[in-house]
């Protein structure tokens, strides 16, 4: 495993066996209870199984993951999960926050003919992972803390306005808060609950600014 940057890391594993786009693996650290889930972000035909993760400096597993070097052994369990493409013939609306964009990349690389629209909400433009790859899609990036193309915006605000095609399936992934809010908006807008699929990753995303505040206050 190798880290691409100090904050957002990209790792790869060689895994034997079949899996479906949208599934995840569980990685284990030094102790068997140091276990966390990561969605595979490569395609089913790719040679490696890739994951995308954010380093949480006070977290249990990610500081260990960034310390790994290529060739270091790591316990990988899986694949698990049902956040997979239910019906590739439907229009898909994918809403992700932060690293929650990982399954969308797996969808794209595994099902190149999907009719997919991506809403990706992040805090700053550097968090728009895979931006170049997504440029071929109907792709809407939103930055809440810094301007992107001169504008700060929130994914859920845009969700209230966007035209939603008939019969679409919606996939929601990342921060629980976004998922709850988006489900409420989409339900109000008439999307039936069996057309909504979600994969919650975390409550309250890690925030470097909170760390900075804590450091200043000690
Ligand atoms: C089904 C599932 C799939 C997941 N897939 C991914 C993935 O593909 N990539 C990924 O980075 N994470 C993913 N996660 C989150 C992941 O399992 C870990 O929680 C995360 O990597 C942090 O691990 P940690 O032990 O270092 O810190 P933890 O002790 O687990 O987390 C500390 C705190 O950091 C915050 N946090 C956790 N994860 C994130 C994140 N990704 N971005 C911002 N803030 C966060 C939360 O507030 C959390 O309480 C997934 C979680 C689930 C349940």
Domain holding 107: CATH number? 3.40.50.80
Distance between CA atoms of residues 201 and 218, nearest Å: 30
d(CA 2, ligand 1 centre) in Å: 18
pLDDT per residue over 73-98, tens digit each?
A: 888 899 999 999 999 999 999 999 99
Confirm or reject: Cβ of 202 under 6 Å from ligand 1. Answer: yes
Confirm or reject: Cβ of 8 under 6 Å from ligand 1. Answer: no
The whole-number pLDDT of residue 205 equals: 82
Range of the domain at 181: 92-202
**C-alpha 174: how far from chain center:** 6
Confirm or reject: Cβ of 36 under 6 Å from ligand 1. Answer: yes
Distance between CA atoms of residues 146 and 93, nearest Å: 25
In a domain, 209, yes or no: no
pLDDT per residue over 92-139, tens digit each?
A: 999 999 999 999 999 999 999 999 999 999 999 999 999 999 988 899
**Adjacency order of strands within the sheet including 196-202:** 138-143, 116-122, 92-97, 169-175, 196-202
Tell the residue nearest (CA) to atom 37 of ligand 1.
202
Q: What is the CATH number of the domain that holds 60?
A: 2.40.30.10
**Domain count within the chain:** 2
d(CA 65, ligand 1 centre) in Å: 12
Q: How far is CA 103 from CA 31, 33, 158, 173, in A?
A: 27, 25, 21, 8
Q: Based on the fold, state whether residues 109 and 53 are members of the same structural domain.
A: no
pTM: 0.92
In a domain, 25, yes or no: yes
Can you tell me the mean pLDDT for 32-42? 94
In a domain, 215, yes or no: no
Q: Based on the fold, state whether residues 75 and 114 are members of the same structural domain.
A: no
Q: How many alpha carbons lie under 13 Å from residue 4 in its C-beta half-sphere?
A: 11
Confirm or reject: Cβ of 129 under 6 Å from ligand 1. Answer: no
């Amino acid at each position: 495993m190798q880290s691409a940057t100090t904050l957002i890391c990209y790792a790869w594993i060689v895994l034997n066996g079949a899996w479906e786009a949208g599934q995840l693996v569980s990685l284990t650290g030094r102790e068997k209870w140091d276990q966390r889930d990561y969605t595979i972000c490569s395609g089913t035909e790719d040679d490696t199984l890739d994951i995308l993760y954010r380093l949480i400096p006070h977290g249990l597993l990610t500081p260990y993951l960034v310390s790994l070097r290529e060739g270091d052994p790591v316990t990988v369990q899986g694949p698990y999960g049902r956040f997979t493409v239910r019906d590739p013939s439907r229009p898909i609306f994918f809403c992700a926050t932060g690293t929650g964009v990982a399954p969308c990349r797996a969808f794209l690389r595994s099902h190149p003919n999907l009719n997919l629209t991506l809403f990706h909400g992040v805090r700053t433009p550097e968090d728009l992972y895979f931006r170049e790859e997504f440029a071929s899609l109907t792709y809407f990036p939103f930055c809440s803390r810094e301007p992107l193309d001169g504008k700060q915006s929130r994914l859920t605000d845009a969700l209230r306005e966007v035209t939603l095609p008939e019969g679409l399936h919606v996939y929601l992934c990342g921060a629980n808060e976004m998922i709850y809010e988006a489900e409420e908006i989409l339900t109000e807008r008439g999307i039936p609950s069996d057309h909504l699929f979600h994969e919650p990753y975390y409550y309250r995303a890690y925030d470097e600014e909170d760390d900075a505040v804590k450091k200043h206050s000690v």
